[in-house]
Amino acid sequence: MLREFGMGDVYYLVASARWTFVLSLIAFVGGGLIGGLMTLARISRFAPLRWFAAGYVEVLQGTPLLMQLFLWFFMLTLLLPVELPALAVAAIALSLNASSFAIEIWRGSIEAIPKTQWESAASIGMSRLQQLRYIIAPQAIRIGIAPTVGLAVIVIKATSLTALIGFVEVTRAGQLVSGVTFQPLLTYSVVALIYLAFCWPLSILSRRLEQNLDVNRTPELSQ
């Protein structure tokens, strides 16, 4: 039975946004942890590790996220004796996908540091791990922090695809509301404003960080 779109629907959409936030947070943190480990593999001197990390990035960035969601959803359903909740499946797929972008952001940040930094650190007897920890990482973090915040925006918007595996976040809630009110334009306008409220502050933060951190300045290590 159709009814008019009202404030109750707005409250429902806003309340559903908490699941968008929760899923985004899980995916961003999970993607960061996986991405950090895989970045070390990506810059490793051990060639098989580099090849594995490169292949990992190519597969996840070279295939649509929606397809990855469906693969994880049906594969885990077949392999596991119990059915995982949609939140768990969505978190796995989004974390892995986000990690592939984090790897390239952080690898690029590390490779942006002049090789003389590595050479200078090696010349005073530092191991490769010490070079990375004390010399390279602090500078790479300054370069990579703004695009990493930008990645958070991508993750938030990507959560909308999880509606197609039954996870009720703000986009899925919009589908449900639109189905009973038959007012898709009004419904999805509210949904769009909710996404804007999440993403706009992060986009501004990313731009300001890029300006304030002066990413084009990479100081040389004192000899």
Please name each of the domains of the chain with its CATH number. 7-213 (1.10.3720.10)
The answer to whether 118 and 131 are in contact (CB under 8 A) is yes
The answer to whether 31 and 23 are in contact (CB under 8 A) is no
Of the chain, the end-to-end C-alpha distance in Å amounts to 76
- Amino acid letter for position 133: R
Q: What size, in residues, is the chain?
A: 223
For 11-134, strand residue ranges (E) read none
Q: Supply the pLDDT for residue 1.
A: 66
The residue ranking higher by pLDDT, 123 or 214, is 123
Q: Supply the pLDDT for residue 223.
A: 38
pLDDT in tens, 88-145: 999 999 999 999 999 999 999 999 999 999 989 989 989 989 999 999 999 999 999 9
Helices (H) and strands (E) in the chain, counts: 9, 0
Q: Supply the pLDDT for residue 217.
A: 53
Q: How confident is the model at residue 37 (pLDDT cuts 50, 70, 90)?
A: very high
Q: How confident is the model at residue 219 (pLDDT cuts 50, 70, 90)?
A: very low
pLDDT at residue 215 is higher than 80:
no
Whole-number Å distance between alpha carbons of 172 and 96? 22
pLDDT in tens, 44-96: 999 999 999 999 999 999 999 999 999 999 998 888 888 889 999 999 999 99
Q: Identify the H or E element spanning 94.
A: helix 86-111
Q: Supply the pLDDT for residue 107.
A: 96
pLDDT at residue 203 is higher than 90:
yes
Q: How confident is the model at residue 221 (pLDDT cuts 50, 70, 90)?
A: very low
Give the Å distances, CA to CA, from 126 to 39, 50, 65, 129, 130: 20, 22, 41, 8, 6
Most distant CA atoms of the chain, gap in Å: 76
Q: Supply the pLDDT for residue 111.
A: 94
